[in-house]
Every structure is written in C-alpha cells, then in structure tokens.
Structure 1
C-alpha cells in the first residue's frame, strides 16, 4: 500500500505540523477540526494552516506544499475521509474523545486505511480496547515531536493486534517521505523520548530549586557543558511553555507506576503554579523564567518571584566541559559540580533502569534523546564517555541501587566500535546497530574511524576512499583551521587519486559562517596583512573545490550561512536536507562576503535571468545587500542559491548515503566553467549607489549600510 492522501484531525500545533510535513512530502492533505460559529466555519483548521504558513516559522517548505492542504471541519467534511490512505488523530489528550472519534472513523474510512494517534501518554491498549479486531489491526501510535517539520524523532508504537504490514508501511512512509528518524517503541508509559527527557528536565528543575541555583546558573551547567541545547532547563520551560510542560509532567505522574523515580521530581512547584496563574507562561506570553523588559534581559529570582537583571556568567568549568567533555563538570568542586553530578547521575541511572522494559539495547533511548531533545550524545553514549565503571563507582559510594543493565557494562561499555558499530544487548553480548536500508549516519560511522588530519575546528576522514570533511567548532564557525583541513583534504584527494570529497556533518547546523571573533582580532591588532592572508586563503580554498578534477559534494543540514554557505556554493553538487536554511548574511554585520560568494551569486542570477547581466546584477545587489536567506531548498532555488543539479532529501539520516552515492555516480556533477561576461558597467553602479543613498535619506539604511552597499555594487557591476 502507498500513502498518497492523508487526513489529520485536530489542527492545533501538532496536528497542523503533521499536515504540513505530509504536504511537504507531496501528499494531498485534508486538515479537519471542530466547526466554528460565525462566517468561517473552518476557522480552526484555517488557523492551523496559517500557523504553519507563517514565513517567520514555516511548517511548510513552499507555497506549493501549502496549496496541497485543504481545510475543513468534522461536521461537514467527515465523509471526505473515505478516500484517505492515512488518518492521523491529533486531538486533545482525552481518552473519551479519542474513543468516540475512532468509532466514527471506523464507520467512514475505507477498510485498508491506516489510522494512528499522536498521543504522547495514553497506552495504545486503552485507545482501541472498544474497537473491533479489523480496526485494531490497522491502528498504531505515531508520536511526532514539536515543531514537526524540524524535529526528526517519530516514535512508532504497535498494539498487540497491529498488522506488521501496517507497521512496515508507516515506518517506510515516515522515514522516506516524512523524513523522520523512526524509533519503534514498546507500549510503555511515555514511550522513550518523553520518559527520559521529561525526567531529565524535571530533575534539573527541582535540583536547582533545592540547591539554590539561579535559572541562569542551572542553564549554564545543564546545557552545553553536557551536550544539551543552550536553553538548558529553565530556558526550555520558557520555550515550550511553562503551563504545557507542567501538564506533561502531571500526565506522566498519572500513568507511571508508583515505584518509578519520576514521581520524586514530578510534583508541581508553588512558584511555578503562581507564575501560570499570573500569566507568566514563557515566551508565548512574553514572560516566564526569563523576560525582556525595556530592552533588558531579566531573570526571575526563584526565592522572591521578582525579576532581576540577567548577568553575564562566565563559569570556567562549564567552558572546559563544553570543549573537553562532561567529566570536567561532573568532577568539579563546589556547587556547580555538585549540581551537575546530582542531576546527570540520576538521569543516567534512570535511563539504565528502563532496560529491558523499553527495549533490549541502548540504541532507541539514545536515538530518542538525540532526535527528540537535541542532545549531542544519548544517555548511554554519555556513560561510555565517562565509563560505566566511573558511574558505578560513584553511585555505589552513595549507596545507590545499580540497575542490572548498568552492572552488565562494568569493565566494558554499551557500544563497541572496534570493527563496526555494535550495541550491548541486555543479558550479555553485542549486536550490530542496524539502520534501515539507505540510512547512513556519519556519527555512527565516525565512531569506527580515525581522522586523517584534524584540529580543533575540523577533521577529515577516509571513508571508502572518499575524503569526508567535517567542521566541528562552536556553531561550526570557520577559521584558518577549518580551511586548512579542507585544503589538505582537497590536495590529498588529488595527489592520491581518491574517489572524491564530501563536506558534511551530523551536527544541528552545517556552519553559521566565518568566526567573526577571529576576524575582529585582526582588526584590533591592526594586522591587515594577516586579515588579507586569511581571506585570500579562504577564497582560494573555496575556488579549489570548484576547479577540482574529481567529484565534490556539499551535504549541509540546518544553517549554512555566510562563509559556511560560500563553501556550499563551490561544490559541484549540493545534496542538502529539506530543512536547510542558507544565504550570505554578511551585510547584516557590516561586511561583505569574501570567499567567492559575491561572484557566485552574480553568475547564478545570470543563469536564472537567461544571460541578462544587468538584471542579474540588480538581483545580486539586492540579495547580498539585504542578506537574503532561504528557509528551504525550494526557496533557495527561487533565490538562485541552488542550481538545477542540486537536490534535497527529506530524511537527514539518508543525506550521507546519498552524497556517497553521488560520488560513485558523478553524472549529476556540474563544473564551474563559464564564458567571459560583459559586466553591467558604471551606469548601473551609479544607479545602485544612488538607490542606497536615497534609502539612507529615507531613514531605511545607516551610513555604513551605504558604504557596504556601494562596495557590493562595485563588485556586481
């Protein structure tokens, strides 16, 4: 069975997001909600569509995707479900409402339609206990994470009677078409992501209150030093919504068994109950644990409930742990070290205690935390980093009960990388980590490799006679070290006649641009020769990518901005993720792209304008001057940022394998040979300068913007 037409019932945040992702995959989508009083009976469904169509936070990759979504209501349009292949339910987390809906669906939907629920808490057994066997066979839980377009995790849960063929169809569709990292889960409370993730958040929250840490201090420790997003715990509460996170915690308390460790950290805190009552619900309300008032960032005092100016914290042990590993903050003296150990030791202990209840090895738990909560390493990968013996030793000194699965790793590890990536099975022994066909994560492969050359900013590896260049500085900002690694890889591929080169990483973002702190250091030192040398090397290295006599692939994910995008621009083919965001944004900080980006922008607009150099020069002038960015590969093609031979894939876990396949079959590669062009000339240059001066006179550009615009105009004309 092929899923071609999708219906989503419930147009809230999750339902609309699911509809948007199905439309992104090319499906026709019917989005239904309750009927509304007034002129627009479909107002609720339309509100959901409007939300995912917002350019500031798009849940769809293009206007064409949005056009595939039809809105309606469950009173007037319920019969339209009869020809849908998959119906996803995303209504309120109330068992009675869901059961009533399923009975109506059973009467209308075709016999082979797949039906699923987006529930995050209700066991599948309860959902379908009143339904006939034929319905139960085609029912599953498809638990997405918010925002649906950008969060890769999908937890897929089968019931006792779910047909394996139905699960296979859902798994393949959600993987290949929706682009999700599908994690099959057992029908256990909270499944995987929220079971561990919410426990970690609640533990960090309650411990901060108990130990007297401020929100800023807690977020500085329970954040980047542990390989967790910088929002930490209090910032994450604000991001998700304090009221919503409190409801999730309450829901988990209601469904987890009495002896579960979550109950110790699941209770509501008086300050937070007062905040919710006062409307301080996080970013969506303008105030939570943090707020911006009169341009000043403020943070709440957990003892008094009043706001104070936020501080610029500099915690050396946190900085060291972020660069060199979590062990440095776990072993630190003082309250920061105590907080880090108290929180993370319990989180790791909790994760280990869930095996074999939730699964027989660590892979699913680690995948869920990396894909659903953006952790760099999962709990068991973190245990391997600090070693199981270290964790067991400290826990035993505190008289903790050690779970059987953690004991089994004593003197060893949870993963074995000697020849191929293997994971420890409960009860003993290792088994290969198996991914779906076509899925290849570089993070998995890297564990079995040694870099050919590396520094603090980048590394390159020999992967099946292909040079794989990976940036790994903070935000993957590019400096002299990054470009020296890229240059070395290019030269080695040429000299040793390797098969080609791929620039890729499994981080959240490809590269946020050149390291501006390094550039600033040149200015402060008045080292103009050093600055010229750095920029020349950057530009020449990018140029070497373009003129290489072998396949060169850029396979970016997330943000590719500024200098990072200039690297992408010089690949002979770009195979990017569907959620890639790219552009040359240098003008926003008062500088000009210097890695060949201006030249590439002009050439690509000339191609798009069918050789009209003047029209192309103006498009390039606006693109570079405004620092335009593309929110998707489809948008990028419209802005002449991607060429016709460039393409995207929906699932980032398939990006690396697609890039390697393109090296093996380089027929889609496109070189950079171009005929000489007659530039637009002085008259167009003068018009551009006049435009910038007029915009300055109208108060829409600063004086320095005029200076930058003038130099951009000089380059493109």
Structure 2
C-alpha cells in the first residue's frame, strides 16, 4: 500500500522519520523518535553477508543494553525498523524528515547525500546531525532544488536526556521549513532549540570546549589536580556535578580531541588559537587507548568502589584525595553573585584565582565571538545551560555580578597580559546600550551585536504553549499568574488570557514538593474552591519534581512525642485527601514531571486523569523505609486490579491482575519513564504523555477543560472483589522463596507480607466484596503497626540522615 503524500501546497507535517547512520548517535536519535511515538526507519550500510540490514538491526538490539537507557521501555526497540541503502532506499519516500547521522567525515557525508537525494520526496526535509562541520559546504553535494530543504540539526549526547538541539541553516535554507522543524523538535521531541550560525562547532561546542581548554590551561598554571578542579568547577560553580576532567571522561577523550582538532584547523584566525592545542596528557591517554568511561580509564579509573586519578608524572592511578580549601568553599557558597565574584577576584588563594581566571576566560571569549556564532546573547547562554548543564550562561553570571565592574576587571587583565588573548573586549561591552542597561538581557530582549539592538524571544506559536519556562536573569518575567489564594505551603492560581481562566491550578511550595500536613489541607481547600467557582482543577508544579512524597521530617517530631498514635490523625488526613480528589465534583488532573514518589504517586493515581512528561519517575516506595503505602495506595491497587479483571477476562483469577501491583509495591519499583509507568500500572493507557516539560501545564489545563466540557462525572462509590486468602498464601509463598534465596532480608519479608495482606483483603474468601473505607482502615493499621517497630524506625532515621534506604 502506498503512503498518503501531502497534497500540493499543503504544509509539511513531520510524521515519519528516517535516520541514516546506525552508530551511537544515529541509533539513539532513532530511539528518541520512537520514544515520542513516531515511526522511524534506521538505515546503515548493507552487511556483506546474510541479512543485509544486520548492521542497523544490531544497533537496535544494543539500545536495550545501553545506560543511561535511550528508550523509555526496552520493548520500544522493536518499533524501530532496520534498513540498508542497497534494498530500502525507496522507503525514504515515505519519510517527512531524514536525519543523516554518520561519522564526522565531510567526504562520507557528501557521498551519502548523492546516494539518497534522488530517493527523497519533493517536500521532505534533510538534516545533518554534525557537531561542527560546515553545513554550507555539506549542502554543496546536494541538487540545487534540495538545498532549500537542508540544514544542520545537532543533537547533544545522549539525545534522550540532553535538552539542547542546535539548528543551523545555510543561506539557501527555507526559513518557513526551518520553523516547521524547530516546532517539531520542541513539541514532538521535547527538545530545547537554539539557532546557530554556520561556524565551526556552532555555539555549544565552540564555547563549551573552549571552556574545557581554559580550565585545563588554568589548572596547569595554578598547579591544581584533576579531582580538585572537578570539585571547583562542578556543582559548587553551578555546572554539571562531574566537573571538567570527569566530564571529559564521560564524553570520551577521542570525541573531545575531534572537536578541538576542528577548532585548530578551521579557526586559524581566532585570537585565542594558541590555546586550542590538545593538552599533552590527553594526547598520551588517547595513544594508550584510555579514552575515558567507555574504555574504563581516562583521567580517572574505577577499582572496585574506589575512584583513582591519573598521576601525569608517573602515568599511574593514585587515590583522589585533594580537598577544596574551606575559605574558597565559603566564597562559592555565597548566594549573592556580586559578592561571590568580587571575593574570587580579590582573593589571593590559588584556588580562588583559578576560578576567577576560568570565569574571566569564558566571559572574554563569549563576548569576542558572540557576533560570529549566534544571533544574540540569549542563544549563547541557553546553549551552555541546555548543552553543558550550567545553571547560568556566561553572560547571565557576568550581568548578575555587575556588568560594568566585571567588564573593568576583564579589561584590566587583558591589559596586564593575564588573559588568554590580548584581543580587547568588543566596543558594545564597554559603551552604548549594553553598558547603559548594565547587561545583555533586558525586558526588551537580549543583545544582538550585529544589529546593535535588544532582540525579543522567538514568536513561533509553539513557544506560546510553554507555561512557566525559565527566563534568563534580566529578561522580562515569562508568566503572569493570577493568585487565587496562597499560604506558606501552597499556591492556587490561574493562567492569564488566552488560556482558560476557569481552570484552577495548585502548586506546592515545600522543598521537593513534599506533602506536609499543610499541603494536604491546601489540596482539600483547592478542591473546595474548584467545586465552588471553577470548571476543573490541575495539580502541578512549575519546576520538578511533582512530589517526593510525604514530608517525613515533619512527622518525626510528632512520632517522637506520641508514637504511632500521634501520627494517626495525619495518616487519616492523607487518606481523606486522596478520596476527596477521587470523588471531586470537578475533574482533577495531575500534571506529573520528575519524581512522583510515595504520597505523590498516591495523590496522582486518585485524580481523574494524569498528564505526564516523558521523564516521569513514579512509584510507591514506602517499603524501602519499612512502611507500606498509607495514603490509599494499596486500596487503589486492589481496586484497580478488580477493574482490570472486569474489563479483561472476568473469569481469570484476580491474582493475575493483582500480582504486578504487588511486585511493584513490595519491591519499591519506580518507573524509568512515563511509558514504563504505564507498564507498571501507575499511569493508565489513556493518560496523556507530553515530550516537552514546559508544555505540561498548557496541556493539563486544556485536558481538564475538555473533561469539564464533556460533562465528566466522578465515579460512584461501589464495593469491589478482593483476592482473599488463596492469593495471599500464594504471594507469601513467593516472598518466602525470595527470602530463602537471599533476594530480600528477613525484615523485607515482614514488610512485603503486610503489603500482600492489605492488597488481598486478608483472610477472607476469594472474591469477597470490600469497600474503600474497609480497605483504607486495613491500610492505616498496617502503616501504623510497622511504624511502631524498631526496624522501621531504624530505616526511617537512616533514610533521613543519608537519603538512602537502610537494609536491616
């Protein structure tokens, strides 16, 4: 059957993808496309013997073993179709977007284009995934008619988890089609897009790799070791916690060398070119085959649980034990950016001087090259945030610390010969609109040095879907909320026009959005308000996570004073809250992203619907701290199993439906993604999954509004069958086998037995009817009973102290 092609003149819609190149990046790009529910064909060269698609097929099989997992669930790999250029070029005609992702060789890419170009549909887009090759030069291998539909699209590795995608047009690229592609990347694949100029290494790698080279050079100058530099340039500095040298190991020293070589060869006129050389220690490691994490050794090597660092003098690996100085740690802990940077600049401690030099270098380089590589300062800052995990981009830090003063310090270092280049700061830094505005980011937009103006954000409609997306320091606020009520625990609000004004949103203000008693009462109040004055209620947060569960720290003082009996009223309140959500007279939608654990999971499963970001990690994890779910989680699972039995095969044993819940809860399993949560049962197949985190509330509000308009009513309370004593005996037998086999501890067996007892309804006949009140009472008794046990108290205290479950 021939695919249906777009009508002449119809707008292009990207519904089917081909990826050419089944290497590491190509296969993972294909994986993320299928994560998003898009049909994808993965091409590679034809194998010389046997199955000609064996190369692509092997790459697809390997996706199941990779860590971090590129697939939401391993079974999604089966939905990627393997193909080869000899037999399947005709399949390209079915595809709206073809992404070339073969090795970074200009000649190989151009040869491939000549092979595939005749097979492409006349309206299809072709994009090259390259980290730095010239898109214009690549386009020279294409027929003239295809050049308008060609651009660069640089995914950062790993594609599932790294937000940044750089979009690089040529002069010939059709800007309308570029808008189509950006919209697709943002909404369908959940990516964060910046548009880069066609210059070597584009924006992210140009600035990011320069920053790595600067760190390595300044570490040499100040005589600082690898682990100390990683501590200084990691989370303390607002960057990825792996720092610099460990990040290089993770990326791969050969990959780093390739990007550096591109800078060396293609940027000979760069005034910083003298520092584009690969440090000798990196070259030596590459010669030895020590490429970092993928080969087991690089700057670091793991031996058992110990992490050893390379001693560059001896070539041996030795313990990594250097520590950051307390005075420098105190400077980095300072929350005021101006005070922090001033202290680093004025300190004489080598570690502080190193940090000032590193920041100065990236400020200097970013200012010098902004006009060459990006349309405006926003694009550069966002590339570093999204592509390299920096909390703030270089211009953001500079501006927050005091634009004029910091500019003076940089200029003085250049004059004194302490900077990596003698090139002065551009004129726009020291005078004119930026100087007067005291920074590059303003309410009017971000500085465009070519046009000498502050340029506003993109007006593409897809960005109107992003509710509460973070703004750069200095920019105008992005979200104007109308507060309905607010206290120390929660905030209830509505969105401004053109969003629906009759949908109430509720967000939590506690750390990690935990469910304190005050939050629980705030939820109940929000339901009352929604029923009285609104069409629907959405519970969700502007930032992750959705909720890390009950606020255990708030419970412990009560427990210490009065034991389990003092906690019982709070436990009752939690159960009352989830029942209030289930039977609310307006639709209640949970907008999930990040962790939804314990009480956060129990809250969400009792809502009428869930809208979940793809990266949602949901589960009932209470057994890890010696408890059972106590806020309706076990009652929900027992009822849900009965509902699934009624919908599926009513004559099948109830245990067949209950077992997956029992195993997931007893094992404290947490989903690896939203699709995995559907597999575990914490999300329904009908629940909505979105790929872009910043579209979550937009979609949730409209789903809630649609449910209200459809006349959706809450379910009527009714009893349901429970599995009873026979299923309980079976589950306990399996748990006993696990204990005897050493898979669970003696106390794990006790806790899991309580889970099984409540789920099955205890010692009753199979199929006995139970109502929610009866099940919730059993759940409460099990929770409070375990809370009174010394082993559970030991687990709780250990968890609160270390953040990790204690196995006793």
Normalised by the length of structure 2, the TM-score is 0.78
Give 2:742's aligned residue. Answer: 699
Cα distance, 1:15–1:189 mapped onto 2, change above 3 Å: same
Q: 2:525 matched to 1:484?
A: no
Deviation of the 1:509 alpha carbon? 4.9
The gaps in structure 2 that reach 5 residues or longer are: 1-11, 416-423, 472-476, 761-808
Q: 2:390 matched to 1:349?
A: no
Which of 637, 660, 685 pairs up with 1:619?
A: 660
Give 1:374's aligned residue. Answer: 389
Q: 2:644 matched to 1:603?
A: no
Give 1:137's aligned residue. Answer: 148
Do the aligned partners of 1:542 and 1:566 also contact (CA within 8 Å) in 2?
yes
Cα distance, 1:467–1:25 mapped onto 2, change above 3 Å: closer
Cα distance, 1:709–1:643 mapped onto 2, change above 3 Å: same
Q: Distance in 2 between matches of 1:63 and 1:107?
A: 35
Give 2:456's aligned residue. Answer: 431
Give 2:335's aligned residue. Answer: 324
Q: 2:679 matched to 1:633?
A: no
Q: 2:247 matched to 1:269?
A: no
Q: Distance in 2 between matches of 1:549 and 1:181?
A: 38
Do the aligned partners of 1:225 and 1:326 also contact (CA within 8 Å) in 2?
no
Q: Distance in 2 between matches of 1:704 and 1:44?
A: 48
* CA deviation string 1:551-570 (max 9, x = no partner): 54332334434444344334
Q: 2:706 matched to 1:681?
A: no
Give 2:776's aligned residue. Answer: none
Do the aligned partners of 1:26 and 1:65 also contact (CA within 8 Å) in 2?
no
Which of 100, 110, 118 pairs up with 2:111?
A: 100
Deviation of the 1:641 alpha carbon? 0.8
Larger displacement relative to structure 2 (283-292 or 558-567): 558-567
State the aligned residue count: 708
Deviation of the 1:16 alpha carbon? 0.9
Cα distance, 1:436–1:222 mapped onto 2, change above 3 Å: farther
Q: Distance in 2 between matches of 1:62 and 1:343?
A: 41
Give 2:213's aligned residue. Answer: 202
Q: Distance in 2 between matches of 1:199 and 1:564?
A: 42
Q: Distance in 2 between matches of 1:405 and 1:503?
A: 45
Q: How does 1:510-525 map to 2 (within 5 A)?
A: 510-511=546-547
Which of 130, 133, 148 pairs up with 1:119?
A: 130
Cα distance, 1:530–1:275 mapped onto 2, change above 3 Å: farther
Cα distance, 1:710–1:312 mapped onto 2, change above 3 Å: farther
Q: How does 1:259-658 map to 2 (within 5 A)?
A: 259-261=270-272, 263-301=273-311, 304-311=314-321, 318=329, 321=332, 324=335, 329-330=340-341, 331-332=343-344, 333=347, 334-399=349-414, 401-407=424-430, 408-410=433-435, 411-416=437-442, 422-426=445-449, 427-429=452-454, 431=456, 434-437=459-462, 438-444=464-470, 463-464=495-496, 466-469=504-507, 473=511, 476=512, 478=514, 480=516, 484=518, 487-488=521-522, 491=525, 494-495=528-529, 499=534, 501-505=537-541, 507=543, 509-511=545-547, 545-546=581-582, 548-588=584-624, 590-610=626-646, 613-658=654-699
Cα distance, 1:441–1:107 mapped onto 2, change above 3 Å: same
* CA deviation string 1:63-87 (max 9, x = no partner): 6743442213223433443443332
Which of 183, 187, 195 pairs up with 1:184?
A: 195
Deviation of the 1:168 alpha carbon? 3.4
Cα distance, 1:412–1:572 mapped onto 2, change above 3 Å: farther
Do the aligned partners of 2:610 and 2:687 also contact (CA within 8 Å) in 1?
yes
Do the aligned partners of 2:370 and 2:380 also contact (CA within 8 Å) in 1?
no
The gaps in structure 1 that reach 5 residues or longer are: none
Normalised by the length of structure 1, the TM-score is 0.87
Larger displacement relative to structure 2 (312-321 or 544-553): 312-321
Cα distance, 1:249–1:533 mapped onto 2, change above 3 Å: farther
Do the aligned partners of 1:271 and 1:305 also contact (CA within 8 Å) in 2?
no
Larger displacement relative to structure 2 (108-117 or 317-326): 317-326
Q: Distance in 2 between matches of 1:505 and 1:634?
A: 21
Q: Distance in 2 between matches of 1:212 and 1:593?
A: 53
Cα distance, 1:414–1:48 mapped onto 2, change above 3 Å: same
Do the aligned partners of 1:219 and 1:232 also contact (CA within 8 Å) in 2?
yes
